[in-house]
């Protein structure tokens, strides 16, 4: 039996008020240049307190928030953040960054060349694995720290890695958004992906060229060329190859990360790249254990708590039924094909801005988009592609979404190499691929580009 919507004082305005508090606070922090996701914790708590004050049944609101935090997908994300922090810390200490710098220098991939190559590498990983989060978790801590020693601009490098992760999310046949968009519109995945190429390839090509031409910066690392030339961390290259191979074989992300951590230790200890005291030691008189593993786990704490609080806040909004009410009002409208396409894109963008979750937004809008599109003569491939492209824009651009927060957190891995921490606002602003998708969407809906597809 379906529970009735969670009643809020003030109706729709009351249901949206917590998110208004959240967006205002995050916007203020982002514009103030706050780079650490920990700064968002008080804002999320303030938003949650607002929701609790406006809920007519506070006990149910509290239970809804807890249920939202306890979703299996949320637990997977939190554990993945923590494990990725450990993996990045171990790989960095074992000399992977120095080995990567040596390789890229020998190949002549410096400055913009390195940034462009990072975009291509992240695009290949995300397209192959279908996961933008997994790509950020893998490529961010491994590729970002090396950028300073090869003259890459830190902000553009972070933006390129996020852009590459976005690319696969928008085109991979095994991406969750591809599966959701094609499924809700009763379109086969293969045909949907082929029809989508006309939108994503121009955006990807332009983004790659921009990164190549503008990605050069000043070398910020103090790593001496001689030390780089003598880099001995080459065996660690096997670890990301192993992880990517497991993801391609459709093994669980958590399994792949745990295997990667184990492999990094097994490879590094015999090779003398790591020592047992680095893995765990107790310093006399400190009453505390010291460990690279502990350092890595601490690196993932900020984004993990942010994720838990945000998912709890989103659950309260979903339980109020506000999103479905707004979509229901639109579903009764009958329009021309062009107006229907505009309505579909605007509605799914509104849904993703409110829920902060791409797949949830597609599933919420999918039935309306299918019925309205069929009535207006919008074919299945076109409907699926408009929905998918629309949710691969704002979540990868705005500073309060998980992809930008996660990429910002990943840049903390470069601090030991002299690379600065990049804020979520800056990371999103320099995701040129998502800006390109926004332009392609405007051309598609406004000028009718691609409207001939079936």
pLDDT band at 62 (very low <50, low <70, confident <90, very high): very high
Instruction: Determine the pLDDT at residue 243.
Output: 83
Average pLDDT of 173-195?
A: 87
Instruction: Determine the pLDDT at residue 285.
Output: 67
User: Is 433 within 8 Å of 122 (Cβ atoms)?
Assistant: no
Domain count, the chain: 1
| Residue 422 belongs to a domain | yes
pLDDT at 248 over 90: no
Q: What is the pTM of this model?
A: 0.80
Helix pair angle (337-355, 380-391), 10° resolution: 30
Which H helix or E strand runs over 307? helix 301-320
pLDDT band at 232 (very low <50, low <70, confident <90, very high): confident
The C-alpha atoms of residue 159 and residue 115 are separated, in whole angstroms, by 9
CB 379: neighbour CB atoms within 10 A?
18
pLDDT band at 224 (very low <50, low <70, confident <90, very high): very low
Beta bridge partners, 289, equal 282
Taking the alpha carbons of 285, 291, 294, 295 in that order, is the dihedral positive or negative?
positive
pLDDT at 84 over 70: yes
Better-predicted residue by pLDDT, 299 or 405:
405
pLDDT digits (tens, 9 = 90+) for 276-307: 888 888 877 666 778 888 888 887 888 788 88
Identify the weakest region by mean pLDDT among 94-98, 233-237, 315-319, 430-434: 94-98
User: Is 99 within 8 Å of 149 (Cβ atoms)?
Assistant: no
Average pLDDT of 394-407?
A: 90
Cα three-residue angle 257-129-68, rounded to 5 degrees = 65
| Residue 339 belongs to a domain | no
Cα three-residue angle 280-243-103, rounded to 5 degrees = 90
pLDDT at 231 over 60: no
Q: β-strand 281-282 against 289-290: which pairing, if any?
A: antiparallel
pLDDT at 2 over 80: no
User: Is 130 within 8 Å of 168 (Cβ atoms)?
Assistant: yes
The C-alpha atoms of residue 8 and residue 260 are separated, in whole angstroms, by 46
Identify the weakest region by mean pLDDT among 27-31, 220-224, 229-233, 449-453: 220-224
76 Cβ partners below 8 Å, 6+ apart? 253, 254
Q: What is the CA radius of gyration of the chain?
A: 23
pLDDT band at 332 (very low <50, low <70, confident <90, very high): low
Mean pLDDT estimate for the chain: 85
60 Cβ partners below 8 Å, 6+ apart? 6, 319
Beta bridge partners, 333, equal none
Instruction: Determine the pLDDT at residue 454.
Output: 61
| Residue 378 belongs to a domain | no
| Residue 29 belongs to a domain | no
Q: Which domain holds residue 135?
A: 73-302+407-429
| Residue 340 belongs to a domain | no
pLDDT digits (tens, 9 = 90+) for 409-427: 889 888 878 899 998 889 9
Average pLDDT of 65-71?
A: 90
Instruction: Determine the pLDDT at residue 94.
Output: 85
| Residue 102 belongs to a domain | yes
Residue burial 136-165, b: 16+ Cβ < 10 Å; e: rest: bbbbbbbbbbbbbbbbbbbbbbbbbbbbbb
CB 279: neighbour CB atoms within 10 A?
17
User: Is 428 within 8 Å of 398 (Cβ atoms)?
Assistant: yes
The C-alpha atoms of residue 253 and residue 131 are separated, in whole angstroms, by 9
Identify the weakest region by mean pLDDT among 53-67, 237-251, 434-448: 237-251
Better-predicted residue by pLDDT, 31 or 359:
359
| Residue 186 belongs to a domain | yes
pLDDT at 134 over 90: no
Count Cβ atoms within 10 A of the Cβ of residue 2 and give its class: 0-12 exposed, 13-18 middle, 19 or more buried.
Answer: exposed
The DSSP letter of residue 8 is: B
Instruction: Determine the pLDDT at residue 228.
Output: 43
Instruction: Determine the pLDDT at residue 220.
Output: 45
Percentage of residues in the chain having pLDDT higher than 90: 32
| Residue 105 belongs to a domain | yes
The C-alpha atoms of residue 358 and residue 367 are separated, in whole angstroms, by 15
pLDDT at 36 over 90: no
């Amino acid at each position: 039996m379906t529970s009735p919507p969670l009643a809020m004082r003030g109706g729709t305005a009351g249901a949206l008020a917590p998110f208004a508090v959240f967006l205002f606070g995050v916007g203020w922090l982002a514009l103030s240049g706050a780079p650490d996701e920990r700064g968002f914790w008080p804002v999320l708590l303030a938003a949650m307190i607002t929701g609790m004050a406006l809920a007519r049944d506070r006990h149910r609101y509290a239970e809804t928030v807890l249920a939202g935090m306890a979703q299996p997908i949320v637990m997977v994300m939190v554990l993945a953040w923590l494990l990725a922090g450990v993996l990045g810390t171990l790989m960095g200490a074992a000399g992977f960054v120095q080995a990567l710098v040596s390789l890229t220098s020998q190949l002549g991939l410096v400055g913009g060349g390195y940034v462009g190559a990072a975009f291509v590498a992240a695009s290949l990983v995300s397209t192959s694995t279908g996961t933008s989060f997994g790509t950020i978790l893998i490529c961010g801590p491994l590729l970002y720290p090396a950028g300073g020693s090869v003259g890459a601009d830190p902000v553009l490098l972070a933006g390129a890695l996020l852009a590459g992760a976005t690319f696969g999310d928008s085109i991979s046949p095994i991406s969750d958004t591809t599966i959701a968009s094609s499924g809700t519109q009763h379109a086969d995945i293969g045909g949907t992906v082929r029809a989508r190429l006309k939108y994503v390839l121009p955006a990807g090509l332009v983004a790659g060229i921009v990164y190549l031409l503008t990605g050069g910066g000043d070398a910020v690392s103090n790593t001496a060329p001689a030390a780089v030339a003598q880099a001995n961390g080459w065996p660690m290259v096997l670890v990301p190859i192993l992880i990517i191979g497991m993801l391609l074989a459709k093994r669980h992300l958590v399994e792949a990360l745990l295997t990667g951590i184990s492999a990094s230790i097994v490879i590094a200890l015999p090779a003398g790249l790591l020592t047992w005291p680095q893995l765990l030691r107790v310093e006399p008189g400190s009453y505390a254990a010291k460990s690279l593993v502990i350092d890595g786990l601490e690196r993932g704490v900020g984004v993990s708590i942010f994720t838990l609080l945000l998912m709890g806040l989103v659950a309260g909004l979903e339980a109020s039924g506000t999103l479905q009410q707004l979509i229901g009002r639109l579903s009764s409208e009958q329009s021309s094909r062009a107006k229907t396409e505009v309505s579909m894109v605007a509605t799914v963008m509104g849904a993703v801005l409110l829920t902060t979750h791409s797949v949830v937004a597609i599933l919420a809008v999918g039935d309306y988009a299918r019925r309205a599109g069929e009535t207006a003569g919008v074919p299945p491939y076109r409907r699926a592609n408009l929905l998918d492209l629309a949710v691969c824009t704002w979540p990868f651009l705005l500073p309060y979404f998980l992809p930008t927060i996660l990429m910002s957190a990943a840049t903390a891995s470069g601090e030991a190499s002299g690379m600065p921490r990049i804020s979520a606002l800056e990371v999103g602003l320099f995701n040129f691929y998502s800006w390109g998708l926004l332009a392609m969407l405007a051309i598609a809906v406004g000028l009718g580009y691609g409207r001939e597809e079936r």
